[in-house]
A = this chain, B = another copy of it.
């Protein structure tokens, strides 16, 4: 495994790590975390912090923190290796499982607090004198939307992967099966 920080990156694995790295950046995840995840995702055997640090050219401490974060997301797990003192890690390789875990994490860390904040706002608006009814309505719409989305989200997280897969593959065909009125694209 080469030092992937170098400019010359010609093999697919390194490129994937690089891409995944700054893709993470665009999301809330920082580069180190995303790169480590990518590395473990493509690794055929568990790796320890040392190896990761060397492979990616990331400081040992940084690796340690990033691993902790990835574990908390349940995207990787500690794996005890026979006759080895130090901890090894391997990634969840089932992509559906992965996606579910990420979705779960984002829900807890971002969506739920946002919903709570919104509820607070609506509650305050309701007791507040002199608030324009139109404004109140908009806040309520927003709240309701968030609520619906959230419920849906939770339920989907509970659906087994295989069924979810099938459901998504159906795409908008579900609509015709459910015999909803109206045409596609109004």
Chain A interfacial positions (CB closer than 8 Å to B): 11-13, 15-16, 19, 23, 26-28, 41-42, 44, 93-96, 99, 110, 114, 117-118, 120-122, 124-125, 128, 131-132, 134-135, 138-139, 141-142, 144-145, 148-149, 151-152, 155-156, 158-160, 162-163, 165-172, 174-175, 177-178, 180, 182-186
Q: Is the pair B175, A177 in contact by a Cβ cutoff of 8 Å? A: no
Chain B nearest Cβ from A168, distance in angstroms: 4
Known: A42-B138, A174-B178. A131 touches B12 (CB 8 A): yes
Q: Is the pair A156, B172 in contact by a Cβ cutoff of 8 Å? A: yes
Give me the 5 closest cross-chain CB pairs, A-B, nearest first. A12-B125, A155-B171, A155-B172, A95-B145, A12-B124
Partner of A19, one of B19, B117, B170, B185: B117
Chain B minimum-CB-distance residue to A132: B44
Chain B nearest Cβ from A84, distance in angstroms: 22
Which residues of B are found within 8 Å of A131, using beta-carbon distances? 11-13
Partner of A148, one of B26, B134, B142, B169: B169
Count of chain copies: 2
Q: Is the pair A138, B41 in contact by a Cβ cutoff of 8 Å? A: yes
List, sorted by A's number, 27 A–B pairs whose CB atoms are closer than 8 Å.
A11-B124, A11-B131, A12-B121, A12-B139, A13-B135, A23-B110, A23-B114, A27-B28, A42-B138, A44-B132, A95-B141, A95-B142, A95-B144, A148-B165, A149-B168, A151-B171, A152-B169, A158-B172, A158-B185, A160-B184, A162-B182, A163-B175, A163-B180, A163-B182, A167-B175, A174-B178, A177-B178
Chain B minimum-CB-distance residue to A43: B135
- Tell me the bound Cα distance from A11 to B93 in angstroms: 48
- Tell me the bound Cα distance from A118 to B12 in angstroms: 10
